[in-house]
Amino acid sequence: MKKKWLWWCLLLLTGLSSGCWDQRELERLAIVSGIGIDLHPDGENYQVSFQIIRPDDVLGGRGGTGGGGGGGANKPFWTLKAEGKTVFDAIRNATFESSRRLFLSHNEVVIINEEVAKKGIFPIIEFLMRDAEPRLSEWLLVTPDQAEKVLQVESKLEKVPAAGIAHQLQTYHATSKVRAVSLYDFANHFVQKKTAGTMPVIRIVETDGEKILKLEKTAVFKEDKLAGDLDYRETRGLLWVLGEVRGGIIVLELPDDGATVSIEISEATGKISAVVKERPLKMQVEIDLEAILGGQSTEQNLVTPEKTNFLEKLTAEAITGEVEAALSKARQLGADIFGFAEHLHRYHPQVWKELQKEWESYFRQLDVTIKVKVLIAEVGLTRRPAILFGE
């Protein structure tokens, strides 16, 4: 029994004598919330910029205590640039200019410049996966601008711009015209046979002399290289197939009077199946949509069985159109962004073995049938159009 204390002493002794290598006091950490990766002007090295949170200033503004620094309020973040032969190298080189060690565990976004993306992002993804600090859940984006500049654009609502970008991505539900891609999602493409990865594209837009970040398009990667992009409509086409559509508006134009009807997406599923009996095989995409009649510019009452049926048909056509657009773009790029290959691998491994080798050329002329089922389940609060003039 008396030995117990000896033990504790021993434990403490070894502990104390061994010191504290991994100890990093909070106040000695530079919390990185965003990483931007550009090519260095010399074309060889990477130039990596970090958005580092300054906690004091983040909180300082919130309480409205004023005073603070007295003069011009500090920005709640600081953008640090560093260059290196690899991303990792650049991270360590950053300490030349930073008083604190960079801490990547709370990083939220990684913004990759187009040029870098065209060269291939495999080394970047590889590093992010291997290192213990970055997380699988951080968002990946591509930008045609300098990634460093993107990181410097202040968010109008959030204190920390990177958090702003992350939130901006997560509101994709509203339109389903942008795809949010995390490191985990993207890395999965690397291990999944021939599926092509995508990433959202972010850009600096200037409105009223103020710089604002805007999510545009979706970048398509072939293997690890940027190959092309999808616009909003094509992106939603892609999301339909993937079953990732969560919300958004489909605007229909009525053929008889040219009025517009907005259909709100409430629930959608997408399913891929393959018909493997015949060659060349056919893929089938089934999309199931539950929608809400959201608004109309015509005076006729659309809440009748026939009219709703008609609307459903129109919606289905619109969706088919979107998917077709995405499909043709994908065929043109030769990038299987829909994961047809993965589907074959999972459900028809035998067939997949057969097609594996020439999958890309096969994909380019793959026959895809699209089946869309639409159900308008709700019509909003009004039972007939809110018109100005009584009958």
Partner 1 sequence: MFRFLLRKLRLAQQFKENATPSAGYRLHKSLEENIALFRAELGESPDVAIRRFTLNLKKGIKAAIIFVEGLMDQQVVYDCILHPLMIEAKKETWTVDSDLLGFIQENLITASGLAQEDRFPPLVDAVLGGDTVLLIDGQTAALVVSTKNWEKRAIEEPDTEVTIMGPRDGFTEDLRTNTALLRRKINYPGLVFEQMVIGRRTRTTVVVAYVQGIANEKIVEEVKARLKRINTDMILDANYLTEFITDAPFSPFPTIAYTERPDVAAARLLEGRVAVLVNNTPTILMMPSLFIEAFQSPDDYNDHFLYATFIRWLRYLAFLMSFLLPALFVALTSYHQELIPTPLLISMAAAVEGTPFPVVIEVVAMGAVFEIIREAGVRLARPIGQTISIVGALVIGEAVVSAGLVAAPTVIVVALTAITSFVVPKQQEIAIILRLTLAVLAGILGAYGIIIGLLFTLAHLASLRSFGVPYFSPVIPLQVGDLKDVAVRAPLWAMWTRPQALEGQDSKRQNFGERVPSSIAAEEPDRPPSAPGKRKKEEKNRKK
Partner 2 sequence: MSFVMTTGLIFPPLQGLWHDSWMTLLLGLAGGIVFALPYTTLCLRFPGKTLIEIHETVFGPVIGKLFSVASIWYTFHLGAQAGAIFITFLTTTIFTMTPRYVFSVTWLLVVGYLCKKGIEVIARVNEMLLVVTVFLIVGTGFLVLNIFKIENFLPLWSISLSDLLRAGFGTITFPFGQNVVFGLLLPFLHERGQARKAVFMGLCGAALFLLINLVITVGVLGELGKIFIFPTHQAFRMISIGQVMTRLELIPSLIFLAMGFIKVSIALYAASLGTAQLCKLQTYRPLVFPIGVLMVIAAHQIYPNIGVRLEMVERVQPIYALPFQLLFPLLALLAAVLRRLPGKEGQA
Partner 3 sequence: MILLVLLGFALIVALELPGLLKARYWRELIVFALLTAGAFILSLLLVFGVELPYIDSVLIEVFTKLGLTLK
CA 252 – CA 388 distance, rounded (Å): 22
Identify whether 280 is preceded by a cis peptide bond (ω within 30 of 0): yes
Which residue lies nearer to partner 3 by CB, 12 or 136? 12
191 binds partner 2 (CB under 8 A): yes
User: 102 and 32 in contact (C-beta within 8 Å)?
Assistant: yes
Which one, of 120, 125, 101, 89, lies nearest residue 23 by Cα?
101
Element (H, E) at 59: helix 55-62
Backbone angles phi, psi at 278, to 5 degrees: -100, 160
Q: Which of residues 124-153 bind partner 1 (CB under 8 A)?
A: 133, 135
Does the protein bind partner 3 through residue 17 (CB under 8 A)?
yes
Q: Per CB under 8 A, which region of 11-19, 111-119, 243-251, 344-352 contacts partner 1?
A: 11-19
Residue 317 touches partner 1, criterion: CB under 8 A: no
For residue 6, the partner it binds in partner 3, partner 2, partner 1, none, with Cβ less than 5 to 8 A by kind, is partner 3
Pairing of strands 46-53, 29-39: antiparallel
User: Per CB under 8 A, does 2 bind partner 3?
Assistant: no
Q: Side chain identity at 160, as an amino acid letter?
A: V
β-pairing verdict for 101-103 and 198-207 = unpaired
Contact string 341-380 vs partner 2 (x = CB under 8 A): ----xxxxx-------------------------------
Chosen residue from 23, 65, 99, 207 binding partner 1 by CB under 8 A: 23
Q: Which does 170 bind (CB under 5 to 8 A by kind): partner 2, partner 1, partner 3, none?
A: none
Q: What does each C-alpha distance from 141 to 112, 182, 305 come to in angstroms?
A: 6, 9, 44
For residue 137, state whether it binds partner 2 (rule: CB under 8 A).
Answer: yes
22 is an interface residue for partner 1 by CB under 8 A: yes
Q: Which is nearer to partner 2, 188 or 298 (CB)?
A: 188
- Residues 242 and 327 sit within 8 Å (Cβ to Cβ): no
**Least gap, CB of 14 to partner 3 (angstroms):** 8
In sequence order, what E strands does 243-281 have?
249-253, 260-275
Footprint on this chain of partner 2 (rule: CB under 8 A): 7, 10-11, 14-15, 18, 21-22, 129, 132, 135-137, 184, 187-188, 191-192, 345-349
